Amino acid sequence: MERGVNLNKVSLPEWVHEKIEKLYAEGYPKLEIAKKAYVHRHGESGYSLYLWASQNQERFLTAIINGYTVEKPEHDRLRKHYNILLGMLNTASVTSKEEQEVRARIDELTLTLDILGITVEGVERI
């Protein structure tokens, strides 16, 4: 496993951005924001940040350190659709024909994004 510092900005969902900005507004420095995300002491809304940060550790920490951009909501929808397709592909009950159809849908999605010059973090050709 390669370990190192990612110097690029990453993109974050808008709701994660809002939670981080709230913590910045409350005067927390970067290290404390990272700690708060993993301790989830900010009530129910803090727990959602904790879950997301736990599942996206490198992305979250890179955003805190290097800064980030805010994803467009349509990117979230595309990523969710892509992940559903990947889940279908990984399902044991998928037949060969069904697998080909799912792969074709994924190819169409990624080709369309390539043609339009759109990059959605987490969506790539398989």
Answer with the residue of higher pLDDT: 123 or 17. Answer: 17
Using pLDDT thresholds of 50, 70 and 90, give the confidence band for residue 118.
confident
Q: What is the pTM of this model?
A: 0.56
3 three-state secondary structure: coil
CA 60 to CA 43: how far, in whole Å? 19
Question: Across residues 88-107, what is the average pLDDT?
Answer: 82
- Give yes or no for residue 56 having a pLDDT over 70: yes
**Does residue 1 register a pLDDT over 50?**
no
State yes or no: pLDDT of 126 exceeds 60: yes
Between residues 118 and 29, the one the model is more confident about: 29
Please name the residues in contact with 5: beta carbons below 8 A apart, sequence gap of 6 or more.
Answer: 65
- For helices 30-39 and 43-55, the axis angle rounded to 10 degrees is 100
